[in-house]
Amino acid sequence: MKTAIVLGGSRGIGKAIADSLKSINCNVIATSKNDLDTSNLENVSSFAEKHKETDILVLNTGGPEPKEFFSVTEDDWKRYHNQLFLGFCTLLQKIKINDNGYVFLISSGVIKEPDSKLIISSAYRSAFSSVFKILSKQFAGKQISCINIAPGPIQTDRTKELIDDVEAFAKTLPMKRLGKPQEIGDFVKSIVKIHKVELLVVQYNNRFYFSRRNPNCDWLKNAIVNPNVTVSFNRQTFSGKAKLVTNILLNKKICQLKYEDEKRANEERVVLEVDCN
């Protein structure tokens, strides 16, 4: 079972992501501001001490109130420097992301189109997005995917705080509506749910078979929880249902077909069958 830490997971986009990950049997730690306030670096360090590693990390936090440049105070800059930038950097330095894991950054459309009334958010979200892009290349060596989601207007309390007449504003958008938090949650779920691994395959009786000595390997557990799988073989793609092989004779047959070496062929293994018929 994958473990996920979702910051700001008690409402809005964060809650939608947390709920979506729970629906695919992830063990989700969804924080509220009471659990983790990224503007408080002592709180951030304390949280990282308690949660030293995870498979999925969702970096998500609320933004500052609208202010134009000459209205921003020194305290505003310091607070949101921590909340939107340094707090996230500290978490990435102190929490280990397991191999084949994911880091999602919920940033904002202001990283592409800065808003004069959201200058603090525009500045710090853009700055951390640059750090995130650099780190993504380092994480790639461990097959850790880094995904920056920069939403436009979404139907959340934050949008209601920023826009006086939400209904009128929605009519100006291409789809004539705001985005829904659940749509982002479903997007995150679709990425995590697709778990790709390269394995030796045995074709037998028009079915595909995969085996491992370790019954606790991640891809095997994932296939049991999410049995709808896709197999790429000989430049063709097949969709099918995965299930464990419980027939001892079939299990032994697959191991013998997979390995010419007698010792390896007779080792005890867990075998997964994928029926694409």
Range 123-132, long-range pairs (CB < 8 A, 24+ positions)? 124/80, 124/81, 124/83, 124/84, 124/85, 125/63, 125/84, 127/85, 128/84, 128/85, 128/88, 128/89, 129/105, 131/85, 131/89, 132/103, 132/105
Assess whether 156 and 79 both reside in one domain: yes
DSSP letter (8 states) at residue 118: B
CA atoms within 13 A on the CB side of 138: 8
Q: Choose one of 138, 173, 193: the last residue of a domain.
A: 193
Which segments of the chain have a pLDDT < 70?
194-197
Expressed as residue numbers, the domain containing 67 is: 3-193
- Note the pLDDT of residue 195: 62
**Spatial distance between the Cα atoms of 80 and 87, rounded to a whole number of angstroms:** 9
- Note the pLDDT of residue 217: 77
- Note the pLDDT of residue 178: 86
Assess whether 229 and 127 both reside in one domain: no
Assess whether 60 and 116 both reside in one domain: yes
Assess whether 156 and 223 both reside in one domain: no
Assess whether 185 and 209 both reside in one domain: no
- Note the pLDDT of residue 37: 95
Assess whether 173 and 64 both reside in one domain: yes
pLDDT tens profile 133-172: 999 999 988 889 999 999 988 888 787 777 778 888 888 8
- Note the pLDDT of residue 194: 63
Structure tokens at 10: 């008690």
pTM: 0.71
Contact 122, 67 (CB under 8 A): no
Number of domains composing the chain: 2
